[in-house]
Amino acid sequence: MTAVLYPEREVPSQASVLEARKNTAHAWFSNLRDQVCELYEELEEHAPGPFPVKGAQPGRFSLTPWTVQNLDRPTSNEAHSRLDPNCGGVQGILRGRIFEKMAVHVSAVYGTFSETFKNTVLKIDGAGPSEFWASGISLIAHPWNPHVPTLHMNTRFLVTPQKAWFGGGADLTPMLDSRRTQEDPDTELFHSALKYACESHCSVANYTQFKTQCDDYFFLPHRQEHRGIGGIFYDHLWSENFDADMAFTQAVGQTTMAAYAQIVRSNFTKPWTAEERREQGIRRGRYVEFNLLYDRGTLFGLKLGGNIDSILSSMPPYVLWP
């Protein structure tokens, strides 16, 4: 009897596995960006009037690649924290008939964190600087109509020599006080969609916990009020099962994108008054205050010397303070 010899299977190295995971995450964020562009450009194209700007054309996303070395300024605002000059991303901006401004960005950046930055912004304990790699997508929508709430969604994958993890979430900010209730149809739809996404991935996601974390995070201490009606927020998500964590992150992105499109369709033709437009401007002011004072994502980009145009694209184009 002749023995049959099987070649030994090559076991992937830890470095090659990690590189594959980084590629998988970044490819997904880029794919989701393309889905976002297609869906919301379609809404812009087929939306019936009337529109706030007479003769306005359907909005299209303008996609602009950028790298750190092409930014006309220093690459770091904090000693010992920096981005590598070769990294960057793609900035996407739409201005149209439904959306006064919508932004969707994807990036893959790498460099070095200082010890202070790790401890204060990222909440990572550890002595000395640390190398990192991070990729993610952010989506921000500021509609014209005050009856349509503002949306924010962000998911990301971050890697350091010590650990890797996912983070992100989605939250909704109604512009009118009359819509800032848990019984409002938009609020109910948004929360039920995110709850379903969490429950469909219950091995790694806990809706109650993530909802509470969102309420705690999107809070303005100086005004003692929440920014909006919440959603979910999670960070340092690492279950030791990359595929499960990745699947949940994908569900957050697609669920948010679809739920918000439904909310937009339900509201963007509702008539609105000058007083409601003023109320929208004031509420947007609260949005600006949170992003500039407390948002960790904004601090992340500014302290590392990222693309300021992308970082501050979350700012609404029209805002008021009474």
Q: What's the confidence (pLDDT) of residue 79? A: 46
Q: Which residues pair with 172 in a beta bridge?
A: 151, 230
CA-CA distances (angstroms) from residue 244 to 156, 204, 283? 15, 7, 37
Which residue, 264, 266, 47, is CA-closest to 141? Answer: 264
Q: Where are the beta strands (DSSP E) in the chain?
A: 62-67, 82-83, 88-94, 99-113, 130-143, 150-159, 164-173, 219-220, 225-226, 230-237
Q: What's the CATH code, domain 16-47+56-314? A: 3.40.1500.10
Q: Are 127 and 88 in contact (CB under 8 A)?
A: no
104 in Cβ contact with 137 (< 8 Å): yes
- Domains of the chain by residue range: 16-47+56-314
Express each pLDDT in 217-255 by its tens digit.
999 999 999 999 999 999 999 999 999 999 999 999 999
- The residue type found at 129 is P
Among residues 151, 76, 121, the alpha carbon closest in space to that of 314 is found at 151
* Lowest-confidence segment of 166-175, 182-191, 241-250, 302-311 by average pLDDT: 302-311
Element (DSSP H or E) covering residue 274: helix 274-293
pLDDT at 51 over 80: yes
Q: How far is CA 38 from CA 226, 233, 318, in A?
A: 32, 26, 25
pTM beyond 0.75: yes
**More confident site: 3 or 263:** 263
pLDDT above 50: residue 122:
yes
User: How many angstroms separate the CA atoms of 166 and 135, rounded?
Assistant: 10
The Cα-based distances of 82 to 93, 178, 219 in angstroms read: 26, 44, 29
Asked if residue 117 has pLDDT above 70, the reply is no
Q: Give per-residue pLDDT as tens, 249-278.
A: 999 999 999 999 999 999 999 999 999 999
Residues 6+ apart with CB under 8 A from 279: 146, 175, 176, 177
CA nearest to 181, candidates 220, 217, 230: 230
C-alpha span between 186 and 148 (Å, rounded):
9
pLDDT of residue 80: 47
For residue 6, how many other CB atoms are within 10 A of its CB?
Answer: 5
Cis? peptide before 50, omega within 30° of 0:
yes
- Residue 68's nearest CA partner among 48, 84, 49 is 84
* Residues noted as catalytic: 152
Residue 196 above 90 pLDDT? yes
* pLDDT confidence band for 11 (50 / 70 / 90): low
Residue 214 is which amino acid? Answer: C
pLDDT (average), residues 197-226? 97
